[in-house]
Amino acid sequence: MNLGSHLSIAGGLHHALEEAVEVGCATLQIFTKSNSQWRAKPLTDADVETWRATWTRTGVRNVVAHDCYLINLASPDEALWRKSLAAFRHEMERAERLGLESLIMHPGAHVGSGEETGLARVAQAFDLLHADTRGYRLRVLLETTAGQGSTLGRRFEQLAALLARVKDPDRLGVCFDTCHVFAAGYDFRTPSGYKKVMREFDRMVGLDQIRAFHLNDSKGELGSRLDRHEHIGRGKLGLEAFRSLLNASRFRKVPMILETPKEGGMDLVNLRLLRGLRE
Ligand SMILES: [Zn+2]
């Protein structure tokens, strides 16, 4: 099991590493900058040095980043698309500099231009980004989405289409968010449902593409397309789905990251619950 959580970088990036150790996380997700602003203070050499030294000292296994919520690489609006492209390149630079293995992103929203046009926009963006960042170790992970509004990534087919269109798909992978996949309409609440959904994912995208999981229960019902995370076992998805996932030997080393609400030390409760599901 490679369990962890999304932790805050308030007070400096390296604080997230310290907190990861306190909570007992083997793996960690961070925003490398504010997730609700375009701009960021540039990383200084000292920031990077402190980050690397703290990482070595704490022995956290994996660190992944999540991109800023304003970025939309599927946008039909030329100005916003350009702005998103620049901001995403910036996110890639920061993550690479910090030595992170992956940067998780939402594929974007087509905002009425249609699924096809949206997917083509995202693929075009990745071709440009890949050309600009040759030699990077960093891998970008497309996150499965709940499909709220016109967001792409709700159907496994859409992820497959993106991987097929990008010139260099080896630089990409997938982050499987349990809440989103369930809210998008895939029912894996029972062991047989889990098998069926994973078989479908394997057929469409390939299970090897899954390089991270977001472990969240869902406030919304199956197929609600609501992106609302709930504590493990307290939502509509339920514990059995997590039991299936945590006991799948093929995912044993894949980072599994909580994105559940932080109130009242709930990370400790959720992590303990998840560990208890391992047979
Ligand atoms: Zn997520």
pLDDT of residue 147: 96
CA 235/CA 50 separation, integer angstroms = 39
- Number of structural domains found in the chain: 1
114 CA to centre of ligand 1 in angstroms: 23
143 CA to centre of ligand 1 in angstroms: 7
The sign of the torsion formed by the CA atoms of 154, 160, 163, 165 equals negative
CB burial readout 181-202, b (16+ within 10 A) else e: bbbbebbbbeeebbeebbeebe
Quote the domain boundaries for residue 32.
3-276
6 CA to centre of ligand 1 in angstroms: 10
CA 253/CA 47 separation, integer angstroms = 29
Is the distance from CB of 174 to CB of 142 less than 8 angstroms? yes
Please give the structure tokens belonging to residue 92: 């890639």
103 CA to centre of ligand 1 in angstroms: 12
pLDDT of residue 1: 84
Does the model's pTM come out above 0.75?
A: yes
Q: Which residues contact 195 (CB under 8 A, 6 or more apart)?
A: none
pLDDT of residue 264: 82
Please give the structure tokens belonging to residue 62: 């994996």
Please give the structure tokens belonging to residue 33: 């900058």
46 CA to centre of ligand 1 in angstroms: 30
80 CA to centre of ligand 1 in angstroms: 23
pLDDT of residue 49: 97
Which letter does DSSP use for residue 265 in this model? Answer: G
The sign of the torsion formed by the CA atoms of 10, 14, 16, 18 equals negative
CA 17/CA 59 separation, integer angstroms = 9
177 CA to centre of ligand 1 in angstroms: 5
CATH of the domain at 190: 3.20.20.150
Is the distance from CB of 24 to CB of 62 less than 8 angstroms? no
Helix segments in the chain, DSSP class H: 13-23, 45-58, 78-97, 115-132, 156-165, 178-183, 191-204, 239-246, 266-276
270 CA to centre of ligand 1 in angstroms: 16
Could you list the pLDDT tens digit for every one of the 279 residues in the chain?
899 999 999 989 999 999 999 999 999 999 999 888 998 889 999 999 999 999 999 999 999 999 999 999 999 999 999 999 999 999 999 999 999 999 999 999 999 999 999 999 999 999 999 999 999 999 999 999 999 999 999 999 999 999 999 999 999 999 999 999 999 999 999 999 999 999 999 999 999 999 999 999 999 999 999 999 999 999 999 999 999 999 999 999 999 999 999 988 999 999 999 999 998
134 CA to centre of ligand 1 in angstroms: 27
**Per-residue pLDDT tens for 85-121?**
999 999 999 999 999 999 999 999 999 999 999 999 9
160 CA to centre of ligand 1 in angstroms: 18
40 CA to centre of ligand 1 in angstroms: 22
pLDDT of residue 263: 84
